[in-house]
Structure 1
């Protein structure tokens, strides 16, 4: 096999409002561009963007990949979409795949690999060889998303009756819609992953393939399996009975029965195992409290975030990290818990040398743990002597998630200040014409 040399590489990050869509491309000396699409979703576009914006983005992705747009030096490079990565199943990361036009454009690019977390493996729920707890978690996540659908339906009705304090109904609607399963997007991903192209990954896996991306290495830092990460396993066990109850309610709410008179427990002592914040689910829904709804949805939101694929990509001399929406339970394995004999020491060494960091979870504080941030040796003041100052990339829509009053706003302003002070920050939110930002990857 003839080894190819990298000529240039870059990132195009699209302004999708509250969501993620990043195209990573590498040009080689054979005049072929090889590209990786990392996420393609949005739950809310900027107010002045057209409704077909995700279709426009798909068209631009196609043009960049296939070489229909000129490079900075005027040259034209034909290309291939070698890999699609769907970091996790949240709508703000995969909804674009579910749009008829946009999904077909990406699908027609015929990606050679489709990467998703191990929790999305379609064989896992029925594979007797899979650990029981893993199978239970996959089923539980389906129940969680039914619950989100129920909350969305019920909150719309209750909001109309002015049952919620100002703003609470909007937050419920936003979190509910974000967590509802997007069947069309999932189907598109499964179609692209057919014929052996799907990879369902966990911590420690290696996606490096010199046939697809010569001179590029791709390591998986997360998510860990439940057997590997005790904190995730405990969370799955604690919530197991509760989510069965929640799914009963959500199915009824989805069908329009918002009163949900029949919410009897699955077994007599079930209510004793249900967390205090969830006990409102057993009586009629019109006795629910809005703060409890929000608490449950945040638990669901966090659980799905922690299934995010975390990728560490080396291109030439540059190390890039793409963490999806991974939060501390996911990050903890590589940062604190993994056995050094597994090669984790090398992963940590490389992590410290990160040159480009895609900010996790649209800038929420708990998705960029302080331990992680302080490991980055290339962060520093603008006038520092740090070699190749850290580049950070943020995809967000300010003011849409959380609140400054309770210090949960996204993006978290304390984090944004640190990003600006100690890195070269690129934010998609600042780019409306054109609606993307380009970053050169040093090779």
Structure 2
């Protein structure tokens, strides 16, 4: 039987994305073997190099995000390519277990950036794990993907319009485009995806590489013995109950959720975007087809008075229509609705992002001495809540089997926590999450680059309006519970090392931390029998 001697968790730095390489060292029959577990590999789409960002941002935004921190940012494609190359070098031809938590570009793009390396005949994938939501034969999963596809098309159109409008794009539209970056290159009829692979293409590529026999779609409540790794895996989520799949934030009551990723809402959003694209293409003139406008032709009004029959004066020289003059009066500005439609697009983008995050495959790995390593992907509120809906395993197969355990029991033994969704406000539960992590050896990793998060969405033009990653209240609580033992994607290596040496996790076998420009690594050591 294999015994776990040590385990390293390598988090790759400098990316607003996730890439973790976990390597258990096991001893069996006197022979020592290092196993490899890769959990995701990606970076947020369209992250520019620091110098390029500084050239485009205003002084207030630069000051708020930190000039030096922005200057240090490496362009996303360049950084994730370096990360993926390091992963391929370290696994040395074999990934024993590849875990894909969910279909977001910031968790998958590395596989596309170094596609040739991951498809190389010299590389093998022992096991490939997805959540049940990726199962091509599961009807519920098929229905979910159909709805997501409609929403993705609407977002693709929003991105296209945002690019065309440039600096004139309304703030909600800019925010929607920033959120769409999580979904990766988006396809729309008539628009190319810049030659990049979509997230669906990357998933299909990995399935093809591993093969059907090595690919598993995991269900909540499963317990998987990874004897050869010296570990046991508990599948916490995503839930089967769609009410929880769509719940992305706490609410005052069970009926307060409003879901906008339904097909009818996505279709309405896409129709509105297509109307705006058509207007842009026609220089502001009303498009000919009624099916791309929100109002029927009978309600259209020209900006200029139409020329009368037999009149030779050109339309461009005709006076403005009285309705147009009335609409543009300064005193009537409060009535204008030109950009009101962008709010629905922003809401769709927010909900699409959180709903995809909630399909995350959330895993807890247990070591022989009972420690738990928690990797929740980007699971949000509903996913976390669902962990309490089942025991692990769901039921005993025989009376001789150990009694099933609860999610609370697992959380109480967490000694490593991968912060969900880069430490955002709704990806770590408080009472039913972090407050249950009571083991004094707790350590944490936050895969984030704060300066990049700070200039996303509205943060591109307004200081302090970007993404709050990590969320301050969550971070302070996590810092207190770990006694400062946190590593971060843009953290200060000296300060992080000091926290681990000043407050060791254990007197006999403390967790050690090692830094490189490209990664930070935590090492856990275990007592073995004999």
Describe the SS at the equivalent of 2:434: helix
**Residues 247 and 381, structure 2, Cα contact 8 Å, conserved in 1:** no
Unaligned runs of 5+ in 1: 67-78, 125-129, 266-284, 379-385
Preserved contact between residue 271 and residue 293 of structure 2 (Cα < 8 Å): no
In structure 1, the partner of 2:170 is 164
Q: Does 1:398 align with 2:450?
A: yes
Structure 1 residue aligned with 2:322: none
Aligned to 1:10, which of 8, 17, 25? Answer: 8
Q: For 1:88, what is the secondary structure of its paired residue?
A: coil
Are 1:65 and 2:91 counterparts? yes
SS in 1 for 2:414: coil
Greater Cα shift, 299-308 or 241-250: 241-250
SS of the residue 1:151 aligns to: helix
**Does 2:340 align with 1:342?**
no
Q: Say whether 1:243 aligns with 2:266.
A: yes
**Are 1:49 and 2:78 counterparts?**
no
Is 1:373–2:396 an aligned residue pair?
Answer: no
Deviations 1:192-251 (A, max 9, x none): 3423221112311233343xx342101110001136848669877972421244456678
Once the two structures are TM-superposed, the CA of residue 334 in structure 1 deviates from its matched residue by 1.2
2:136–2:142: 8 Å Cα contact kept in structure 1?
A: no
Query: In angstroms, what is the RMSD of aligned CA positions?
Result: 3.4
* Counterpart check, 1:199 vs 2:199: no
Per the alignment, do residues 146 and 237 of structure 1 end up closer, same or farther by CA in structure 2, a change over 3 Å counting?
closer
Correspondent of 1:294 among 333, 338, 346: 346
The Cα shift of 1:391 comes to: 0.3
1:321 aligns with 2:335: no
* Greater Rg by CA: 2
Number of equivalenced pairs? 388
Alignment CA distance shift 1:169-1:255 (3 Å): closer
5+ residue gaps in structure 2?
A: 51-72, 185-197, 249-256, 282-286, 295-336, 396-403, 494-514
What is the deviation of 1:316?
A: 3.0
**What is residue 109 of structure 1 aligned with on the other side?**
123
**Structure 1 residue 100: deviation in Å?**
4.4
User: TM-score, length-normalised on structure 2?
Assistant: 0.65
**Aligned residue in 2 for 1:72:** none
1:429 aligns with 2:490: yes
Query: For structure 1, which segment, 413-422 or 294-303, has the greater mean C-alpha deviation from structure 2 after superposition?
Result: 413-422
Deviation per CA, 1:101-155: give whole Å up to 9, x if none: 465368853111111121111223xxxxx35xx4322210111222221111111
Q: Contact (CA 8 Å) 1:59, 1:102: kept in 2 or not?
A: no
Secondary structure, aligned partner of 1:225? coil
Distance 1:347 1:426, change over 3 A: same
Task: Rate the CA distance shift 1:367–1:232 in 2: closer, same or farther, 3 A.
Answer: closer
Give the direction of change, closer, same or farther, for the CA distance of 1:311–1:8 in structure 2 (3 Å limit): same
1:14-29 equivalences in 2 (<5 Å): 14-29=12-27
Aligned partner of 2:474 among 400, 415, 418? 415
- Corresponding residue number in structure 1 for 2:311: none
Higher relative contact order (CA 8 A, sep 6+): 2
1:117/1:412 Cα in 2 relative to 1: closer, same or farther (>3 Å)? same
Matched, 1:226 2:226: no
When residues 255 and 390 of structure 1 are mapped into structure 2, their CA distance, relative to the original with a 3 A threshold, is farther
Q: CA offsets per residue over residues 374-424 of structure 1, 9 Å max, x none?
A: 00112xxxxxxx3xx210110012142576857961211222222222211
Counterpart CA distance in 2 for 1:374 and 1:287 is: 42
Instruction: Give the direction of change, closer, same or farther, for the CA distance of 1:106–1:14 in structure 2 (3 Å limit).
Output: farther
Measure the CA separation in 1 of the matches of 2:473 and 2:466.
Answer: 9
Distance 1:16 1:118 in 2: 31
DSSP 3-state at the match of 2:142:
helix
- Which residue of 2 is the match for residue 137 of structure 1? 144
